[in-house]
Amino acid sequence: MSARVTGRFAPTPSGRLHLGNLLCALLAYLSVRSRDGRFLLRIEDVDVPRCPRRLAAQCIEDLLWLGITWDEPPLYQSERTAIYEDAFARLEDMGLVYPCFCTRAQLHAALAPNLGDREPVYAGTCAHLSPDEIAERSKTRSPAMRVRVPDEDVTFTDGLYGIVTENLARDCGDFIIRRSDGLFGYQLAVVVDDALTGVTEIVRGRDILTATPRQLFLQRALGYPAPSYVHIPLLTDSEGRRLAKRDKDLDLSVLSKRFTREDILGLLAHACGLLPDWHPVTMDALIRDFSWERVAREDARLSPALTRM
């Protein structure tokens, strides 16, 4: 197999990309292109009702406007159900999957006391139902499907944040890989797609860092190689507030009327530490000078000049 690095950007098109998403796309792209690697685009529209094609087309348009290009036709998760079925069946054959009939209210009631911003740990309520119980409950409710996790530490080294360790049984519990409406969950789809498309480097937001141990576990179970990971700082407004899809003034529909592509590249590069101050810059110059060493670890703030201009 070739040693050429393969990276990807994998947006969920449930809204228009904001500058935080574009920063992620840019860093993933620069990391790969600065080493003459392969870059892929994957549209994570597995939750079809929330991700209309119109928004995926808009994502593509915005990335192209910024000067980001990919080497193969974009992949749409909504078209890959049969592939996820196959991976799911393999996990089932290993005895790792079980149905969960818990309602939202039951899940809440079984929760440990509030754990700050960590996701709730599943209490294992449905982990040992008998075949009769499963048959009985299936009459009135279609279950979500969970994967059983081991009580052992999963460790990886993140390119920016260093060593990260999590015990899945303690910190997360058995997690959902297929929803009760039949749609596959994000964790399974991501792992399958990254492996089957030969992705070797994953660059994405720090908000997904805690999902990575679950994905490493699934990779191991399915016999896939583990890619390397860089989770990048989040982009905030000039007051330190996290950007959200609702910040309409920070998407390209507005920004591309006020700024050039080089202005926006300079803005993003400055926010994450690649440029000492905000000035227009070309993609070629960013590729030439790129190094992870120069990317800041702390959250990246947008220049207050953005809203003054």
Q: Please report whether residue 10 would count as binding ligand GLU according to CB under 6 A.
A: yes
Tokens of 254: 């507005």
- Provide the minimum distance between the beta carbon of 44 and ligand GLU in the complex, in angstroms, as a whole number: 4
Contact 252, 62 (CB under 8 A): yes
Report the sign of the C-alpha dihedral through residues 182, 209, 12, 4, in that order: negative
Rounded Cα distance between 42 and 25, Å, is 11
With binding defined as CB under 6 A, does residue 58 bind ligand GLU? no
Minimum CB–partner distance for residue 280 and ligand GLU (Å): 27
What is the 3-state secondary structure of 263-279?
HHHHHHHHHCCCCCCCC
Q: Which is nearer to ligand GLU, 44 or 263 (CB)?
A: 44
Per-residue binding string, ligand GLU, 178-197, x by CB under 6 A, is ------------x-------
17 lines the binding site for ligand GLU (CB under 6 A):
no
Kindly tell me which of 11 and 213 has the beta carbon lying closer to ligand GLU. Answer: 11
Segment contacting ligand GLU (CB under 6 A): 10-18, 111-119, 147-155, 222-230? 10-18
* Residue 92 C-beta-side C-alpha neighbours within 13 Å: 11
Asked if 12 is part of the footprint of ligand GLU (rule: CB under 6 A), the reply reads yes
Asked if 267 interacts with ligand GLU (CB under 6 A), we say: no
| Cβ–Cβ < 8 Å for 43, 9 | no
4-12, 107-115, 229-237, 261-269 -> range binding ligand GLU (CB under 6 A): 4-12
Instruction: Compute the least distance from the CB of residue 182 to ligand GLU, in Å.
Output: 20
Among the listed ranges 9-17, 62-70, 99-107, 299-307, the one in contact with ligand GLU (CB under 6 A) is 9-17
Q: Which residues of 259-284 are buried (b: 16+ CB within 10 A; e: fewer)?
A: bebbbbbbbbbbbbebbeebeebebe
Question: Helices 186-196 and 81-93 meet at what angle, rounded to 10?
Answer: 100
Residues near ligand GLU (CB under 6 A) are 10-12, 44, 190, 204, 208
